[in-house]
Amino acid sequence: MMDFGLSEAQEALQSSARDLLTAECPPDLVRETAQNEDGVPRRLYRRLGDLGWFSLLVPERDGGLGLGMLDLALVLEEMGRVAAPGPFLSTQLVIAAVLKGASARQRRRWLPRLTNGDGFAAVAALEDDGRLDAVAGGIT
């Protein structure tokens, strides 16, 4: 029989994420963060970096926690529960891209900056000619 429940470690991660985010993300944090030039709740993100949340999917050999997608989903669910502001998910997407396609040198350069809570990233698309053309790019 397969057990589709959470492991004890996943339940602990979910519970600690809920507790921390409930305490650190009052509704006013969204408004305060919107006033920041870069839209990043720096104090909160340094804390998340210290806890290793930016490195959940990063293998241990690269300095991460080496956990799985479900672990990240549990944290994201709790972030959604409190409407945590900032580029956490987009940074996770870029971290995944670095893990998938970057050279060892690039990994050493970018992963520490993206996982410590000080660096952030976003996924972007650009046409070969340097402009975004929704029609030529097949976006309708």
Right CATH for 8-115 from 3.40.50.450, 1.10.540.10, 3.30.360.10, 1.10.10.60? 1.10.540.10
Give per-residue pLDDT as tens, 26-55.
Answer: 999 999 999 988 889 999 999 999 999 999
Structure tokens at 114: 């993206």
Query: Which amino acid, 37?
Result: E
The pTM score is: 0.83
Residue 105: phi and psi, rounded to 5, are -65, -45
Q: How far apart are CA 85 and CA 79, in angstroms?
A: 8
Residue 124's Cα: distance from chain center in Å? Answer: 16
Residue 37: both structure tokens together: 């030039």
pLDDT, tens digit (0-9, with 9 covering 90-100), for 75-91: 999 999 999 999 999 99
Q: Given its phi and psi angles, is residue 88 left (phi above 0), alpha (psi -120 to 50 degrees) or beta? A: alpha
Rounded to whole angstroms, how far apart are CA atoms 139 and 20?
40
